């Protein structure tokens, strides 16, 4: 089966084509970073309008890259949630309309399931069951995964997600949008022990996260700091270390609680070098393995949607004719395969 995947949940338009036998045939991605940079964050209406402009041209480019035509496509997958309602509707309307015109089945894909399954696109995919850390600008979750659609939420952020905390702290430091990757780059020149920031919620049981207090602590230090480059690098390094320590400690706690020995890490923050280094040490100590998508698939992309949609279409699942999205959509509501 050959599946066209469409991702338009936020500020990136991602299109890909996945084939059951040949794997990923094409991958097209357009980022709206420059569009939203002047506003310091995503403007939903602008995001939706840009998806309208970019989705069809990218679909044409993906078909050309895959040496395919509409007749070669056996199904269409699109992100149905969670995400920005207007942005989701663009991809859902286009995806559902193409499927209807081509007389092919369509499936609405859960955005976070796409991230969770993205490492399956790699040469050494993880076997079920495993623990997943989904960590991005909008989500920080720990999920026990028994199979596709068999998800148990173990813990999540009760306020700011880890990526959101990175971006907000970077903005306080005057870094351009999106600031998270810039803060991580600045941290490489800093001393991670220069400031002792809190490791939120490690002093209590459970697997939930909270990063708003850490962001506030960083804001207080930033307000007192000068413009010296080394001082700013030290703040960045200390902040990053606090986030990474918290994520790693919660992963260790979840691995112990579940007895699992395989960890999947996905989402934009999964590209963070410091996080990868510390998780590698943790899993090596436990005799386990950690799996990631390739870095270009850590952020939002069409490949993960094409793959996740393919799994469900092959299993016989598909949408009816209604064009429906779910800006809020708990992953536990998904049906198993």
pLDDT at 279: 98
Supply the CATH number for residue 329's domain: 3.30.420.40
Q: What is the pLDDT of residue 39?
A: 92
Residues annotated in a binding site for Fe cation: 111, 115, 300
**Domain contains 122:** no
The confidence score (pLDDT) of residue 56 equals 98
Tokens of 98: 């193409």
CA-to-CA distance for 283 and 252, rounded, in angstroms? Answer: 9
Q: Based on the domain organization, do 136 and 263 belong to the same domain?
A: yes
Same domain, 30 and 111: yes
Residue pair 32/50 in contact by the 8 Å Cβ criterion: yes
- Chain-centre distance for alpha carbon 64: 27
Count Cβ atoms below 10 Å from residue 34 Cβ, excluding itself.
Answer: 8
Residue in this structure with the two tokens 């490492």, named with its chain if needed:
119
In this structure, are 90 and 154 located in the same domain?
A: no
Q: Across the chain, how many H-helices and E-strands are there? A: 10, 10
| Digit-coded pLDDT (tens) for 211-270 | 999 999 999 999 988 778 999 999 999 999 999 999 999 999 999 999 999 999 999 999
**CA–CA gap between residue 15 and residue 62 (Å, rounded):** 7
Question: In this structure, are 243 and 260 located in the same domain?
Answer: yes
Residues 181 and 303 occupy one common structural domain = no
pLDDT at position 227: 76
Percent of the chain with pLDDT over 90: 97
| CA–CA separation, 275 and 250 (whole Å) | 12
Contact 229, 102 (CB under 8 A): no
Q: Which residues are annotated binding-site positions?
A: 111, 115, 134-138, 167, 180, 272, 300
How far apart (Å, rounded) are the C-alpha atoms in residues 293 and 275?
14
Instruction: State both tokens at 82.
Output: 């969670």
CA separation for the pair 85, 93 (Å, rounded):
12
Say yes or no: 102 and 133 in one domain: no
Residues 228 and 315 in one domain: no
Query: How many structural domains are present in the chain?
Result: 2
One domain for residues 239 and 306: no
Question: How far is Cα of residue 165 from the mean position of the Cα atoms in its chain?
Answer: 15
pLDDT by residue (tens digit) across 226-243?
778 999 999 999 999 999
| Residues placed in the known binding site for substrate | 134-138, 167, 180, 272
Q: Over the Cα atoms of the chain, what is R_g?
A: 20
Where the chain has pLDDT below 50, the residues are none
- Please state, in angstroms and rounded to a whole number, the distance separating the CA atoms of residues 7 and 306: 9
305 and 261 within one domain? no
- CA torsion 301-321-59-3 (nearest 10°) is 70
Backbone dihedral region of 201: left (phi > 0), alpha (psi from -120 to 50 degrees) or beta? left
Residue with tokens 């997600």: 161
């Amino acid at each position: 089966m050959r599946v066209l995947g469409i991702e338009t949940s936020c500020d990136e338009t991602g299109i890909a084509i996945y084939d059951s036998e040949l794997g990923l045939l094409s991958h097209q991605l357009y980022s709206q970073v420059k569009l939203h940079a002047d506003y310091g964050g995503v403007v939903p209406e602008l995001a939706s309008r840009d998806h309208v402009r970019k989705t069809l041209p990218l679909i044409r480019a993906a078909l050309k890259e895959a040496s395919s035509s509409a007749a070669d496509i056996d199904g269409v997958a699109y992100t149905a949630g969670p995400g920005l309602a207007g942005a989701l509707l663009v991809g859902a309307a286009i995806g559902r309309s193409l499927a209807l015109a081509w007389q092919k089945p369509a499936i609405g894909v859960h955005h976070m399931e796409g991230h969770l399954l993205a490492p399956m696109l790699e040469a050494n995919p993880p076997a079920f069951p495993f623990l997943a850390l989904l960590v991005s600008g909008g989500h920080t979750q720990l999920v026990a995964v028994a199979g596709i659609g068999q998800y148990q939420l173990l813990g999540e952020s009760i306020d700011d997600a880890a990526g959101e905390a990175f971006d907000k702290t970077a903005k306080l430091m005057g870094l351009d949008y999106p600031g998270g990757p810039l803060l991580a780059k600045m941290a490489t020149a800093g001393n991670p022990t220069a400031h002792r920031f809190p490791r939120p919620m490690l002093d209590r049981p459970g697997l939930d996260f909270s990063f708003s207090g850490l962001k506030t602590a960083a804001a207080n230090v930033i307000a007192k700091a000068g413009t010296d480059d080394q001082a700013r690098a030290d703040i960045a390094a200390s902040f990053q270390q606090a986030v990474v320590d918290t994520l790693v400690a919660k992963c260790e706690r979840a691995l112990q609680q579940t007895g699992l020995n395989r960890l999947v890490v996905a989402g934009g923050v999964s590209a963070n070098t410091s996080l990868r280094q510390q998780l590698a040490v943790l899993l090596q100590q436990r005799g386990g393995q950690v799996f990631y998508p390739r870095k270009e698939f850590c952020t939002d992309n069409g490949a993960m949607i094409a793959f996740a949609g393919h799994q469900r279409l092959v299993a016989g699942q598909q949408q009816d004719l209604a064009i429906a999205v779910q800006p809020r959509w708990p992953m536990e509501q998904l049906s198993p395969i």
